Chain A
């Protein structure tokens, strides 16, 4: 699976949009971009995934660049409960769906 690079930490004010970047320059054509988050002392939670088109669900939006070498997860109106570690993961091909987690981005939402 392709490797991803994320900033170690980010801050966001409550009510504002949180934009979390991820670089995955070695992504291959059949690999998806996944985002998971992990709130302290809980198991990771699936947020969203995409192949090459932008995606939106009730939790977030995923913007993937045209060359697929980077993506941005957008939480449109961050709340204090969105404080968590956010993981950007590239997975697919013959990996049986296993997820390779990096260090992630610690997002802290401030009042």
Chain B
């Protein structure tokens, strides 16, 4: 158990609906990452926060995606107007200042019908 939790663990939604996922890293994690993983592929980087500042966003993060980390603790990832291609596992990872070791949560599996 890495101490990183994600909620919900599973989400089924209809195309066009908005969804929001939450990630709670441990308090020592000033770095927070979001990744997306589709079946048979490795995780793909989406975005990175240093405390509350969003410092990097992947080109994969279209304008339908938005992420926040308002107080430098938990983070949310929102997808607006979901499409079937958004179906994937969304992973959150926390990290401290020590090198690049990242601690992943269990993920949220999104299915868009």
Contacts and interface: CB of A to CB of B under 8 A. Distances in A.
A20 to B, nearest CB: 15
A28 B42 CA distance: 23
Contact of A97 (B41, B43, B91, B95): B95
A43 B42 contact: no
Interface in B98-113: 99-107
Contact of A49 (B45, B56, B101, B104): B101
Given A43-B105, A44-B43, A104-B42, A32 B56 contact: no
Given A43-B2, A44-B43, A87-B42, A99 B91 contact: no
Interface in A83-107: 85, 87, 91-92, 96-104
Interface string B51-76: 00001100000000000000000000
A91 B44 CA distance: 14
B93 interface: yes
B45 A43 contact: no
Interface of B: 2, 4, 31, 33, 35, 41-45, 48, 50, 55-56, 91, 93, 95, 99-107
Interface of A: 32, 34, 42-46, 49, 85, 87, 91-92, 96-104
8 contacts: A32-B99, A43-B104, A44-B104, A45-B2, A46-B101, A99-B45, A103-B41, A103-B42
